[in-house]
Amino acid sequence: MQPRIVWFSTARSPYNDYLFSELARQSNLTVYHRMEKLGSHPWELLNPGYDSQPLQGRFVTALEAARHADLVVVAGWNSIRFLLISLLVPCKVRTSFWTDTPYPNPHGVIHDLLRMLIIRYVFLRFDRIWATGLPGCQALWALGCPVSKTDSLPFFMNTVAVEQLRDRNKITKFRLDHGSETKIAVLCAGQLIPSKRYDDAIRAMSLSTSDIVLWIAGDGPQVKYLAELTRSLKLDERVKFLGWLQPEEIALAMDACDIFLHPAELDPFPTVVLDAMSRGKPVIGNFTSGSIADRVRDGWNGYIVPLGDIAAIADRVNQFAIDRKQITDFGLNARATALAHPVLDGIAMILGALA
């Protein structure tokens, strides 16, 4: 009989859908989502390949399912309802807690005290604590999580589908439509918010060679500011704003670009970096992003640059422009890195929590 797993998640996402669909093949899995979708990430998703249920209005049903499960997984400590369920689950039910890199930023005495109490409760109550990558584990250890309880459970990309779904004609058209028929295309993707530091990417374009274009995919409060910055630097022909892209559209942009740039600060474990590497793209970014610190090897599958160092970003992009073969070589290494983290490893860890 397959093990019964009940998983509590904030909202559906493309990368979690893949993990859950594969996990559902080897378990009796039900995922309760606290909300249908995140306002900041309005993904349009197909019907899931697993049992997905809303938590809203089904708290008692979810609690009963959790009480009779073999394993209960709670993702994120931003929901008191999740933690209340974990409090009411019998000790005989195995429990795991999954979080991205928990940066201990101060928010005020009362907030920080409550946060630390919740963190201490999580560390004591749950049998296993999973973090996204080594940076996440290191942050947990700094907060006092026992090393013996901690494992790295990152996000997973469908590396098989990446190769199967590529459409060369669409890729060529995308490059033509966005000013990169022969030029090197650098892609940034994510929310247009200050912490992503896309203004660094735009300023770097003013220091790079003219045969490089920058694509920025995403939406957010900095749209107007970034557009005005582009105009002030006279980069309208080299910086293209793609707007918010749905999963299949961002996949096309990833396939069409040459280099992926992620200049963000304190980004827990950005999945766009994993997606770019799975598609064989070199990555340029900072150690302050968890997935870059975890996966990018400087000078092998991408480049690590100091946070906010615009000249360094431009220099690395220019290196690719000077030696375009490096794009291919780094890209192959990035793809190899992605293949070294198959979803079966994650499923084995999840099922291993039942032991």
Residue 106: the pLDDT is 59
The rounded distance, in Å, linking the Cα atoms of 199 and 51 is: 41
Residue 95, pLDDT > 60, answer yes
Tell me: do 116 and 13 sit in the same domain.
Answer: yes
Residue 187: the pLDDT is 98
Arithmetic mean of pLDDT, 57-80: 90
Please, which pLDDT band fits residue 196 given cuts at 50, 70 and 90? very high
The rounded distance, in Å, linking the Cα atoms of 27 and 111 is: 38
What residues contact 125, with CB distance under 8 A and at least 6 apart?
86, 87, 95
Asked if 247 and 14 touch (Cβ cutoff 8 Å), the reply is yes
What residues contact 174, with CB distance under 8 A and at least 6 apart?
252, 253, 256
Residue 15, pLDDT > 80, answer yes
Arithmetic mean of pLDDT, 213-230: 97
Tell me: do 81 and 173 sit in the same domain.
Answer: no
Tell me: do 240 and 115 sit in the same domain.
Answer: no
Nearest CA-CA partner of 156 in 25, 295, 52: 295
Residue 109, pLDDT > 80, answer no
Arithmetic mean of pLDDT, 159-174: 85
Beta bridge partners of 304: 285
Nearest CA-CA partner of 252 in 159, 176, 168, 338: 168
Residue 153, pLDDT > 70, answer yes
Tell me: do 224 and 239 sit in the same domain.
Answer: yes
Asked if 350 and 96 touch (Cβ cutoff 8 Å), the reply is yes
pLDDT per position as a tens digit, 30-67:
999 998 877 778 888 888 999 999 999 999 999 999 99
- The separation between CA 348 and the C-alpha centre of its own chain, rounded to angstroms, equals 21
Tell me: do 171 and 129 sit in the same domain.
Answer: no
Degrees to nearest 5, angle at CA 290 with 286 and 296: 60
Name the domain count of the chain: 2
The rounded distance, in Å, linking the Cα atoms of 250 and 219 is: 13
Residue 1: the pLDDT is 85
Tell me: do 34 and 133 sit in the same domain.
Answer: yes
Tell me: do 268 and 134 sit in the same domain.
Answer: no
User: What letter would DSSP give residue 220?
Assistant: S
Residue 77, pLDDT > 80, answer no
Residue 46: the pLDDT is 86
Query: Which CATH number do you get for residue 48?
Result: 3.40.50.2000
Tell me: do 209 and 244 sit in the same domain.
Answer: yes
Residue 102: the pLDDT is 65
Residue 107: the pLDDT is 65
pLDDT per position as a tens digit, 282-319:
999 999 999 999 999 999 999 999 999 999 999 999 99
Residue 188, pLDDT > 90, answer yes
Residue 189: the pLDDT is 97
Tell me: do 193 and 135 sit in the same domain.
Answer: no
Tell me: do 118 and 190 sit in the same domain.
Answer: no
Residue 172: the pLDDT is 93
Tell me: do 81 and 167 sit in the same domain.
Answer: no
Q: Which amino acid is at 148?
A: S
The rounded distance, in Å, linking the Cα atoms of 14 and 338 is: 17
Tell me: do 120 and 83 sit in the same domain.
Answer: yes
Percent of all residues in the chain with a pLDDT value above 70, rounded to a whole number: 97
Confidence (pTM): 0.93
- Domain with 17 in it: 4-157+342-352
Residue 345, pLDDT > 90, answer yes
